[in-house]
Amino acid sequence: MRLAVTISAIMAFGPAVSAQQTTDAISPESTTGLAQRTDAVRAQNWMISTANPLASQAGANVLSRGGNAIDAMVAVQAMLGLVEPQSSGLGGGAFLVYYDARTGTLTTLDGRETAPMAATDTLFQTASGEAMKFYDAVVGGRSVGTPGTPMLMATAHQKWGQMQWQNLLAPAIERAELGFSVSPRLAGLIANDVDRLKTDPAAASYFLGADGNPLPAGTLLHNPDYAATLRDLAQNGVDAFYHGDIAHAIAAKVQGATGNPGLLATDDLAGYQVIERQPVCASYRAHEVCGMGPPSSGGLTVGQILGLIEPYDIAGMGPDSVDSWRLIGDASRLAFADRGRYIADSDFVDVPVRGLLDPDYLADRARLLDRTTTLPDAQPGNPPRTHAARFADDTSIEFPSTSHFSIVDDWGNVVSMTTTIENGFGSRLMVRGFLLNNELTDFSFESHADGVPVANRVEPGKRPRSSMAPTIVMKDGKPVIAAGSPGGSRIIGYVAQSLIAMIDWQMDPQQAINQPRRVNRFGPYDLEAGTPDVDLAPKLAAMGFKTNVTDLNSGLHIIEITENGLIGGADPRREGLVIGE
């Protein structure tokens, strides 16, 4: 078997690899620098791109043994929960966009966390009614929602998997018992979060040494508790997570958190369900860009950005034109204004999904961009088919510590999955070898503004709004791109920018990923530090933009499906690896 791989991150892993929103200023995870940028990987039969070499290898082993994309997804997620624990795992949630080659259908699975049934819309307010400070809300049990990732893994496998469930969890079980080398990225993230990790004895004993100092890169880290949890799931199925000892341990941990206990109960776990939903698809230059609908804002907001710029010749302007970035930046601002007012869990709120992507509505909004300077203000529009209820604009915090991976198998099945525990290391609560999410802080901390309800307010059983944007792009009824990224609410800009680069500027996946990140959500233009974007800042400023040159921490993992084979890229801002055959 001949494998093609990227090499940008292998050396960083040493022997372990060779052996096998009150404000959006807080970053989801600290940046750890750019690795060497590499050429795109090409293959003929199958391909996988994830944020960690051990996860990519676990999935590649499944694909090379005849497993399909869903089988590989299970193995990848189980491994990511071990080697990239700050980003995703059994204690979090995920969105899956899946193309089934046999039936030619595209669907999505919603594994988003849910609010406890005992929650109220004042969950993140002080006794005086003020919104809590971000980390006061995050650290501890208050922020923990019902995890959805284990059930999403099992639901997808039951519907579409081929290999035995137990065999797919076995690689992560073995690696947890044998140990894995702490990567430079994980070591740096631990070092930046020592004080918060110390709030939970279980997390402290795992991520910190006996002296209380963070584990250095290269430490061989074992996780027998995680191995035991996975073994329980392997032997007894996903019910072992949502009922019995594991569920009781999670509820006890949340409710017993010192200083900031939460509400999650065993009944919340027992009642959790993954929801199969129709994808949200937006037309863009002879393509259908399909992603996750509410409770994610990703599919709708990416679709709006693309729809708003479609009347303009972005291809002719090119990637180096400041006019391109003026249009993209202001289109994003308009889309984010609609996002903040209208998008929330559609099982609780009448989200005008069709109206937000209505061609006439987007054409009307696009005319606002027909200018030479930045928009002085970006306000929400009035999309058609909006329910009579009106909502106040949302100011929720959203800083997911997240991971994304893309998979194409030998049969042409495609997985695009974004998976999260929210902020880096989630709630900082660790139980049975995995971290619990702080996903509830993706709700608006304010339930009303001037007496008008916020769509994304906390409600019992509700799923908080997300920006995760796992995407499959279709053309002529066939998938041509699988893409997605972590990065909090900047995910939307990262994904939109990469799709524009590939569709309009004819870049391959690695070229699109390697571009300097440029994101505008609420007015200020975030430009990636350490890149040529420092030269773009004064040009944008001359157009009226405020600019902010800063570290940006995307994690794009993209596969392009062409007539001549597969082309893959991995983000050099993470530790990603592409493997294909």
pLDDT tens readout for residues 427-462: 999 999 999 999 999 999 998 888 889 999 999 999
Fold of the 4-275+396-580 domain: Glutamine Phosphoribosylpyrophosphate, subunit 1, domain 1 (3.60.20)
pLDDT confidence of residue 394: 65
- Whether pLDDT at 8 is above 60: no
For the residues 176-194, what does the mean pLDDT come to?
A: 96
With cut-offs at 50, 70 and 90, classify the pLDDT of residue 35.
low
pLDDT confidence of residue 451: 86
Q: pTM for the complete prediction?
A: 0.93
For the residues 230-238, what does the mean pLDDT come to?
A: 98
Question: Cα-atom radius of gyration of the chain, to the nearest Å?
Answer: 22
For the residues 90-117, what does the mean pLDDT come to?
A: 98
Closest-CA residue to 30 (of 214, 213, 198, 189): 189
Which position has the token pair 């204004």?
Answer: 337
282 vs 21, higher pLDDT: 282
Contact 36, 572 (CB under 8 A): yes
- Whether pLDDT at 465 is above 90: yes
Own/partner pairs, 344-347, CB within 8 angstroms, 24+ separation: 344/294, 344/295, 344/394, 344/455, 344/456, 344/462, 344/465, 345/294, 345/295, 345/456, 345/462, 345/463, 345/464, 345/465, 346/293, 346/294, 346/295, 347/275, 347/295, 347/462, 347/463
Own/partner pairs, 304-307, CB within 8 angstroms, 24+ separation: 304/331, 304/334, 304/335, 304/338, 304/356, 304/357, 304/362, 305/331, 305/332, 305/335, 305/492, 305/493, 305/496, 306/282, 306/496, 306/499, 306/500, 307/282, 307/283, 307/357, 307/359, 307/362, 307/366
With cut-offs at 50, 70 and 90, classify the pLDDT of residue 251.
very high
Residues 6+ apart with CB under 8 A from 563: none
Phi then psi for 46, rounded to 5 degrees? -150, 165
| Rounded Cα–Cα distance for residues 484 and 468 (Å) | 8
CA atoms within 13 A on the CB side of 207: 31
In sequence order, what are the beta bridge partners of 108?
97, 277
What are the tens digits of pLDDT across the range 37-50?
579 999 999 999 99
| Rounded Cα–Cα distance for residues 283 and 342 (Å) | 21
pLDDT confidence of residue 410: 98
Alpha helices (H) along 139-265 = 149-160, 165-178, 184-191, 194-197, 201-207, 224-236, 239-242, 245-255
- Whether pLDDT at 477 is above 70: yes
CA-to-CA dists, residue 296 to 109, 250, 471, 547, angstroms: 11, 25, 12, 27
With cut-offs at 50, 70 and 90, classify the pLDDT of residue 206.
very high
Amino acid at 56: S
pLDDT confidence of residue 24: 38
Helix (H) and strand (E) counts in the chain: 22, 24
| Rounded Cα–Cα distance for residues 37 and 360 (Å) | 41
Contact 479, 414 (CB under 8 A): yes
For the residues 467-488, what does the mean pLDDT come to?
A: 97
- Whether pLDDT at 22 is above 80: no
pLDDT confidence of residue 7: 34
Hey, where are the domains in the chain?
A: 4-275+396-580
Pick the catalytic residue: 114, 402, 420, 547? 402
In sequence order, what are the beta bridge partners of 557?
570
In the chain, the percentage of residues whose pLDDT exceeds 90 is 88
Burial class (CB in 10 A: 0-12, 13-18, 19+), 353: buried
| Rounded Cα–Cα distance for residues 300 and 279 (Å) | 10
What are the tens digits of pLDDT across the range 330-386?
999 999 999 999 999 999 999 999 999 999 999 999 999 999 999 999 999 999 976
Contact 94, 76 (CB under 8 A): no
What are the tens digits of pLDDT across the range 160-173?
999 999 999 999 99
Phi then psi for 208, rounded to 5 degrees? -120, 150
Closest-CA residue to 269 (of 390, 60, 52, 116): 116
With cut-offs at 50, 70 and 90, classify the pLDDT of residue 19.
very low
Contact 213, 193 (CB under 8 A): no
Phi then psi for 350, rounded to 5 degrees? -80, 90
For the chain, what's the residue count? 581
With cut-offs at 50, 70 and 90, classify the pLDDT of residue 69.
very high
- Whether pLDDT at 13 is above 80: no
pLDDT confidence of residue 532: 87
103 labelled catalytic: no
What are the tens digits of pLDDT across the range 283-309?
999 999 999 999 999 999 999 999 999
With cut-offs at 50, 70 and 90, classify the pLDDT of residue 23.
very low
Closest-CA residue to 442 (of 418, 419, 458, 425): 458
What are the tens digits of pLDDT across the range 483-495?
999 999 999 999 9
Closest-CA residue to 572 (of 479, 510, 500, 490): 510
With cut-offs at 50, 70 and 90, classify the pLDDT of residue 480.
very high
Residue 49's H or E segment, with its range, is strand 47-50
- Whether pLDDT at 3 is above 60: no
For the residues 239-244, what does the mean pLDDT come to?
A: 96
Average pLDDT score over the chain = 92
- Whether pLDDT at 516 is above 60: yes
pLDDT confidence of residue 345: 96
Contact 462, 345 (CB under 8 A): yes
- Whether pLDDT at 425 is above 70: yes
Contact 563, 38 (CB under 8 A): no
